[in-house]
Structure 1
Amino acid sequence: MTTVKTVIYTSAIVLTALICISCKDGTKKVAAVPMGNEMHHEDRNDMGNPANNDARDSRTTAILDGYLSIKNALVADNTDEAAEAGGKLVAALDNFDVSAYSSSEQTQLKDIIVDAKEQAEHISESPMEHQREHLKTLSTDVTDMVAIIGTDKKLYEQFCPMYENGSTWLSASNEVKNPYYGSKMVDCGKIQQEIN
């Protein structure tokens, strides 16, 4: 019994040390693992069919493209483009098939998709300040989704300390362009982590 306690205690110390060491750097490079569905879902029926993998990848790309279009429109202070992109993102989320994922991932993805659709719908119907408010939650949803489904795009999670006590967004560029303030403070923010 004492040996078991010693092993557990030692393992806990080693794990804590590894976590502390890995979190030491303030700007983390994170690989959203797995980056491709084929690495994660080897037991799925469509693994041998590249057409099915391509279809999944295109639906994932449509979601990221829709999100990034909203973000870019808000950087440019363009309400109409953000609204149009919000509508496209709703359609992309509707077309996303969660069946290729594990049951726990399906549950998480369904919850994320419901919330992300609500945010995108508000963005498609609202004035700019309201669009920016919904981008904050949408950014969290899309980041959580990417952590599960992966992406072949290099993304940067960026952070503005001033908007609503701190807000993040995803960008395909390492250049900080703030969607929460647009032209008022377009350079306000920093890269928090690199994904992929």
Structure 2
Amino acid sequence: MKTLVFSLLAIGTLALTSCKENKEQKSTTETSMQHDMSMMSDNSAMGDMPMDEKVTVTDAKKTSADLTELYSHYTHLTFALSGDDDKEAVSGAKGILASFPKIDKNGFSAEQKKEFAELEASISENAEHIADNAGKIDHQREHLDIMSADFYDLLKDFGTPKPVYKIFCPMYNDKKGAFWLSDSREVKNPYLGKEMLSCGEVQEEIK
């Protein structure tokens, strides 16, 4: 009799265990199916393209700046020096200094802001030297030489308001040479002035 009771209890226990396992398995299966359905829905929303193509961020186009006013004062400066006019050169240099705060830099990336700030600081420093040295045209021309290299980088990296020509003078500074920028191919040398006004050759067009 005891043997029969124990047998019945064992059978009942096995039945309950089997039922519990079936419920757990069913619950796990339903959860897995729900997860798969969710994944299928997400993939459908993403489209047929591979995931790595979906999350790729395209590089932003290089932002240009409106340098029209700034560059016009630079050309004012070079024309003044080509005419040996140190006082008018002061006016051009002051115009450069006044133009920088007006340039909108909001669209620049962090890297562009850093580069622009460095060029602005260097150009402004040389413009201040030119503005402060009326009557010392040789000194003004020395700073134009340095400034022109910075303007070249500025226009190359941030855009030009119009086609610009890089013109090289091989005779300036004991024949070490120097270049300036112009919106015309016509040579009017700001380093040698009226002494050798047409000395120079176009090396590059920037646009």
TM above 0.5, yes or no, is yes
How far apart are the structure 2 equivalents of 1:185 and 1:107? 39
TM-score normalised by L of structure 1 = 0.69
Matched to 1:115, the amino acid is: S
Q: SS state of the match for residue 99, structure 1? A: coil
Report the counterpart of residue 130 of structure 1 in structure 2: 139
Structure 1, 182-191 or 101-110: larger mean CA deviation = 101-110
CA distance in 1, matches of 2:106, 2:88: 32
Asked whether 1:161 is paired with 2:170, we answer yes
In structure 2, the residue corresponding to 1:156 is in which secondary structure? strand
Quick one: which amino acid aligns to residue 172 of structure 2? Y
Runs of 5+ unmatched residues, structure 1 = 1-37, 42-52
The counterpart of 1:72, out of the listed 73, 79, 82, is 79
Summarize deviations over 1:100-134 as a string: whole Å, max 9, x none: 21211211110000000011111111121111000
Give the CA deviation at 1:163: 1.2
How far did residue 78 of structure 1 move? Answer: 0.7
The answer as to whether partners of 1:98 and 1:110 remain within 8 angstroms in 2 is no
Q: Answer yes or no: is the 8 Å Cα contact 1:178–1:188 preserved in 2.
A: yes
Aligned-pair CA distance for 1:39: 5.7
Tell me what 2:192 maps to: 181
Cα displacement (A) at 1:97: 3.5
Distance 2:150 2:205 in 1: 17
Corresponding residue to 1:147 among 136, 156, 170 = 156
Q: Structure 1 residue aligned with 2:102, among 95, 117, 121?
A: 95
4+ residue segments displaced more than 6 Å: none
Q: TM-score, normalised by structure 2?
A: 0.66
Where does structure 2 lack aligned partners over 5 or more consecutive residues? 1-59
- The question of whether the paired residues in 2 share the 8 Å contact of 1:132 and 1:180 is answered with yes
The higher relative CO (CA closer than 8 Å, separation ≥ 6) is in: 1
Secondary structure at the aligned position of 1:98 is classed as: coil
> How many residue pairs align between the two structures?
144
Which one-letter code corresponds to 1:118 in the other structure?
Answer: E
Q: CA RMSD in A?
A: 1.7
1:40 corresponds to which of 49, 57, 62: 62
| Residue identity (%) | 36
Give the Cα separation in 2 of the matches to 1:112 and 1:77. 27
State the alpha-carbon separation in 2 of the partners of residues 132 and 145 from structure 1. 20
